[in-house]
Amino acid sequence: MTIWTQAVIEIPAKKPGFHLITEFIQSRVQGIERCEIGLLHLFIQHSSASLAINENADPDVRGDLQRHFEVLAPRNAPYYQHLLEGDDDMPAHIKSVLIGTGLTIPISQGRLALGTWQGVYLAEHRDHAGSRSVVATLQGTQKL
């Protein structure tokens, strides 16, 4: 039997940085535990935050990523023209374009089929962001 579900997952506001949300996402996708094989597509409905997959064990990785992206897309660059929403807004858009707004993750036996050291990140790029909405679409075959 085929499974198709879709829901919007609200992620509470976070400070700027890379936040592990793997278990938060998995616990909120209806029907994932019944999915033998499939795909979970995640899409963040914002232009100043991103989704990524990376290291889930050492928090130094998340800190290093944050520091690198602050250098890669600095605040107050003299060539920015989009300035109306604060000095963190244009860098947030650049980071979102570079990292991306969507992920597709395989599902195996009712779980995200991530590697041992992989986790799903919410990359928050704004200083004072609100909650973030992620559309989760699950497709697959149901366990018999």
Q: What gap in Å lies between CA 13 and CA 57, rounded to an integer?
A: 22
Question: What is the pLDDT, as a whole number, of residue 51?
Answer: 98
Please, what is the Cα angle at 116 between 55 and 43, to 5 degrees?
60
Return per-residue pLDDT of the chain as tens, 144 residues.
999 999 999 999 999 999 999 999 999 999 999 999 999 999 999 999 999 999 999 999 999 999 999 999 999 999 999 999 999 999 999 999 999 999 999 999 999 999 999 999 999 999 999 999 999 999 999 987
Tell me which residue has tokens 């979970």. Answer: 40
Yes or no: say if 122 and 2 are a contact pair by the CB < 8 Å rule.
no
Q: What is the pLDDT of residue 144?
A: 78
The pLDDT score that the predictor gives to residue 75 is 95
